[in-house]
Amino acid sequence: MKLINPIGSKFWFLFIAFVCSASVNAQCAMCRAALTSGDNTTQAAAVNDGIVYLMVIPYLLVAIIGYLIYKMKKNKAS
């Protein structure tokens, strides 16, 4: 079984993390503008839910990748 080149995988991980972080930074300005305009609490709640959604995705990805690495190392040790 051929393993992935660790240098290449680090490059792609950093590249994807950089591309995804650009869209997250853009969300901050939108959140601030939406929350400071008026008394629309429904819109503020929706923006807060969006922030939580954006926060959960990286944790899920890290958990899935960690599990796959654990599973791969466990199978290699057997």
- pLDDT given at position 28: 63
pTM score above 0.85: no
> What separation in angstroms does the CA of 58 have from each of 7, 10, 13, 25, 69?
21, 16, 12, 14, 16
Tokens 């057997």 — which residue? 78
Encode the chain (78 residues) as per-residue pLDDT tens digits.
455 555 666 777 777 777 766 555 455 666 666 666 777 777 777 777 887 888 888 999 999 999 999 999 989 887
> What separation in angstroms does the CA of 38 have from each of 28, 32, 47, 48, 66?
18, 12, 14, 16, 43
